[in-house]
Amino acid sequence: MITFILRRLLLAIPTLLFISLMIFLIVDLAPGSPASQIPLTVPPEVKAKILEQMGVNDPMPVRYALWLRQFFIVEPAYWIDSLFGTTLSEGQQRIVSWQFRGPVMDVILERIPQTLMVVGSAYLVGVLIALPIGIYSAYRQYSAFDQVGSFVAMLGFSVPTFFTGVLISYIFAIKLGWFPTVYDTTLKVTDWESFVKQLRQMAMPVMVLALANAATISRFMRSSMLENMTQDYVRTARAKGLSERTVVLKHVLRNSLISVVTVIAIGIPSIFGGAIVTENIFKVNGIGSALINAINVSDLPMVQTIVFIFAILVVLFNLIADVLYGLLDPRIRYD
Amino acid sequence: MKLRTALLGATAAFALAPAAQAERGTDGELKLLYSQAVSVMTPYLSGGTKDIDAASLVLEPLAGFDENGVVFPRLAAEIPTLENGGVAADLTSITWKLAPGLLWSDGTAVTSADVLFTHEYCTHPEGGCAQLSKFGGIKTIEAVDDLTVKITFESPKANPYTAFVGATSPVLQKAQFANCLGAAAATCTDANFNPIGTGPFVVTDFKVNDVVSLAANPNYRDPAKPAFATVTLKGGGDSESAARAVMETGEIDYAWNTQINPELQEEMAAAGKGVFISAFGGLVERIETNLTNPAADLPEAERSTVKHPHPFLSDVKVRKALSIAIDRQALVDIGYGQAGKPTCNYVPAPADFASDNTECLTQNLDGAKALLDEAGWTDSDGDGIRDKDGVKLSITYQTTVNPIRQDFQALVKGWWNEIGVEVELKQIDPGVFFGGDAASPDTYQKFYADVEMYANEWDGTDPETYLGQLTCEAIPSPETQWQGENINRFCDPAYDALVAELRTTGDRAKRAEIIKKLNDMLTKDSSTIIALVHRGRFSAISNTLGGVVMGAWDAELSRASDWYRIK
């Protein structure tokens, strides 16, 4: 197992380097320029100077090398400095956004809490809803419950969040006035009152995202359960005279969860990726809205850094899913 | 900070209670919503309106523009003029006097050294100052004494109210920005996000592209202001949801740039929780005609250059026909509602600079057809498209991807088809269109199309530089890497001479006369620029917010010190 993990980690290095180059090329070659964000009232010579100062005009390999250096050397050095009070990163330029001229990493760190809070709880709620629905749907296949469950899952799959988001906000915020439409990122939960406030402002985005998440996971759970229900060991268990409860919740569920757990693990990076559409509708301003905003204004360092962090997380959680699979299923051995 | 501010505010107000009716910090929280979030709190590192507006809550210039475009003192004791001797008789210098006793929000005194430093900061050769043009034409700037600054210009300057006038060139604190000169400007993150200012509020927390929290400035010069104790400036979403948050749910006091379609405007206004307010500056949505030939079969370096005049748009009658075939009121009704007015002018405001050019406001399809007939453009082969000498009146009409502009394109295409002109529509991503990349064929400067539509305006109240963009020397070409603002490739020596005259004319009435003449040369006389809609600023305010005077000549929030809660 250890050698497997080590081998996979080593293999991840060239993979990530290749991914970073691809991201850089795609972002850089895409049409659009940060110059378009400078108003027309600014004369061309001043505009040229601003771009020059940003470093937009440097040749592409130079900018890529600089970014690599900043991401892998300067940024870690900076964090070591702030932890241990050393001066490794002194005088070195961190990754700086073209749009707001501040360090990109600071903004990402500032954005992570609200994204984790909203998108993370939506994922959790989604999983908590999906598992029982998936289990019961499979156990009573083709029952009314299963049909309704399938219908709702189809809705969750096929109705985009830009529609459910606006619909939910229209019903609950504008018509009923229960929840605020503007998410307050400065709110600190210190007492019962602020906790309720936080719950109220999270309610709508969590609803929208949980529906979409629950739809996917409940379908996985259902099909995985169905697959196991017809297995020989289930018949044996029933023949032994075990109660239905033990058969379903102990024998079938445990075996069905193996594949579902990996699906859930692989889905975790998407929490960090945020939810571009939903975050924008409810003004949560997490990572997702930071990314789309950076894309809109051609803020290359920001886009590059955020997308690359996603890439790292995806590679990492794929590895974790593989390892989990090996741990949960004794039939699978990597050595 | 909040408590301290509130206490200081309360004490200050208490001490002056008999004199002042209002008190500082008694009206609670002011909630602002910008559909584009604030990126940085200084106008010098960003040209974005949202950033200039946000910074105007904290940083102040020597003087500002009121809603009529008139200069009024902010940090200055009075406005220097020819009459009071502040402006030299030969227009080569201006002397500003700071109001005595001014304090920065940290309690230190504002002096002429800060003003001098701000000039040095923005004009530093290694810097990328977005407002550099505000400081153009300055030969020297010197401190006469602690409170007096004398600016000497390289040549007589008819409009000396550029540097330190308006929210785009506020005074920075020297002590805070001293190490942020030139290339270091962008690394001063703390200063750029939390500048120390003289304005009514101070930043207490800054979350990039998300939310800015501010509190009343304890050292603000008017002890009774601001009425609000704190301000929250939230960013994100879109104009429609921003408008709803004021007009329908009432969560927000002021939403910026709520440009939504007229139908929605009425629907939301009916909810009764707020009102839309607008103000009109210089912003004009227009169709620019290309006077040079953009044909794709020309060699790359000669397309859309002065070497090849346009086959039919170089004919003034064709341009005029295109202009009068448009129903501008219909465009306003479908796209802008209260936020726009039909116009024929390139310079539509201030009132005394606007020409009385209204001929184009009535749509005249028959007149347009007659003009084309007269110019010899007839449909000789019966295909519904006019032609002459084998050239068809076939137009490529480009603009940016934008729902209102696409509606405009469709309507205009209909009218032009009716007078026998074939129209092909093209939409370009705004990031490319305005991106200025010399290698891209789709930038507005390159203009590889017959006509294109966008909006433009000028900074401040005086359109001198804006009109100067249409001189022969500003024509973009491959030699200039396609830089240049004369998009139409308009070149008229008489126009250039008049622009030169404008630069040396100080008298406002005379300037107005010249500006109107220049405007007419571009619009009425030659139809080079087909103005469509005079666009205004358009924001939503809650019924409980008082004291808001919407102006179009300075930042929208620059007078938030006067705002209060209606109880």
- Give the domain CATH number at B325: 3.10.105.10
Contacts of B330 (CB under 8 A, 6+ apart): B363, B411
Residue A67: which region, alpha, beta or left (left: phi > 0; alpha: psi -120 to 50)?
A: alpha
In order, the DSSP letters of B498-540 are: HHHHHHT---HHHHHHHHHHHHHHHTTTT-SEEEEEEEEEEEE
Per-residue confidence (pLDDT) for residue B411, from 0 to 100:
95
What stretches of B290-439 adopt beta strand conformation (E)? Answer: 340-342, 387-388, 391-392, 394-400, 422-428
Residue range A104-328, CATH number: 1.10.3720.10
Examine residue B515 and state whether it is found in any structural domain, yes or no: yes
Examine residue B339 and state whether it is found in any structural domain, yes or no: yes
A213 in reach of chain B (CB within 8 A): no
pLDDT band at A83 (very low <50, low <70, confident <90, very high): confident
Provide the domain limits for residue B404: 281-536
Q: Which residues of B390-413 are buried (b: 16+ CB within 10 A; e: fewer)?
A: eebbebbbbbbeeebbeebbebbb
Q: Do A53 and B133 touch (CB under 8 A)?
A: no
Examine residue B370 and state whether it is found in any structural domain, yes or no: yes
Contacts of B74 (CB under 8 A, 6+ apart): B60, B61, B62, B63, B64
Span A253-271, mean pLDDT? Answer: 87
pLDDT band at A125 (very low <50, low <70, confident <90, very high): very high
The position carrying tokens 């051609």 is A298
Is there a contact between B316 and B477 (Cβ–Cβ < 8 Å)?
no
Ranges in chain B, pLDDT < 70: 1-22
Element (H, E) at A278: helix A276-281
Per-residue confidence (pLDDT) for residue B10, from 0 to 100:
46
Number of H helices, E strands in chain B: 15, 20
Percent of chain A with pLDDT over 90: 30
| Predicted confidence (pLDDT) per residue in A218-256, tens digit | 999 999 999 998 889 999 998 999 998 899 888 899 889
Contact list in B for residue A49 (CB cut-off 8 A) is 127-129, 132
Per-residue confidence (pLDDT) for residue B21, from 0 to 100:
52
Examine residue B376 and state whether it is found in any structural domain, yes or no: yes
A144 in reach of chain B (CB within 8 A): no
What does the alpha-carbon distance between residue B183 and residue B125 come to, in Å, rounded to a whole number? 9
A116 in reach of chain B (CB within 8 A): no
Q: Which residues of A210-220 are buried (b: 16+ CB within 10 A; e: fewer)?
A: bbbbbbbbbbb
A54 in reach of chain B (CB within 8 A): yes
Which residues numbered 283-322 in A keep a CB inside 8 Å of some CB on B?
283, 285, 289-290, 293, 296-298
What does the alpha-carbon distance between residue B537 and residue B553 come to, in Å, rounded to a whole number? 10
- Collapsed DSSP state (helix, strand, coil) of residue A121: helix
When divided into structural domains, chain B yields a total of: 1
Q: Best of A56, A95, A98, A181 to disrupt the B interface by mutation (most B CBs within 10 Å)?
A: A181
Contact list in A for residue B209 (CB cut-off 8 A) is 99-100, 107, 285, 289-290, 293
Q: Do B435 and A181 touch (CB under 8 A)?
A: no
Q: Best of B2, B129, B168, B210 to disrupt the A interface by mutation (most A CBs within 10 Å)?
A: B210
Q: Do B252 and A44 touch (CB under 8 A)?
A: no
- The CA-to-CA distance between both ends of chain A, in Å, stands at 6
Q: Do B132 and A49 touch (CB under 8 A)?
A: yes
Contacts of A214 (CB under 8 A, 6+ apart): A125, A126, A127, A129, A130, A133, A153, A156
A176 in reach of chain B (CB within 8 A): no
What does the alpha-carbon distance between residue B488 and residue B290 come to, in Å, rounded to a whole number? 5
Per-residue confidence (pLDDT) for residue B139, from 0 to 100:
92
Is there a contact between B245 and A170 (Cβ–Cβ < 8 Å)?
no
Q: Crossing angle of helices B316-324/B365-374, nearest 10°?
A: 170
Domain ranges in chain A are 35-94, 104-328
Span A178-192, mean pLDDT? Answer: 89
Q: How many angstroms away from the CA of B36 is the closest CA of chain A?
A: 9
Q: Which residues of A8-28 are buried (b: 16+ CB within 10 A; e: fewer)?
A: beeebeeebeebbeebbeebe
Q: Do A101 and B185 touch (CB under 8 A)?
A: yes
Give the distance between the most distant pair of CA atoms in chain A: 86
CA angle B502, B506, B510 (to 5 degrees): 65
What does the alpha-carbon distance between residue A290 and residue A284 come to, in Å, rounded to a whole number? 10
Examine residue B121 and state whether it is found in any structural domain, yes or no: no
Element (H, E) at B139: strand B138-145
Examine residue B175 and state whether it is found in any structural domain, yes or no: no
Contact list in B for residue A42 (CB cut-off 8 A) is 47, 130, 133
Examine residue B320 and state whether it is found in any structural domain, yes or no: yes
Per-residue confidence (pLDDT) for residue B396, from 0 to 100:
95
Number of Cβ pairs < 8 A linking chain A and chain B: 162
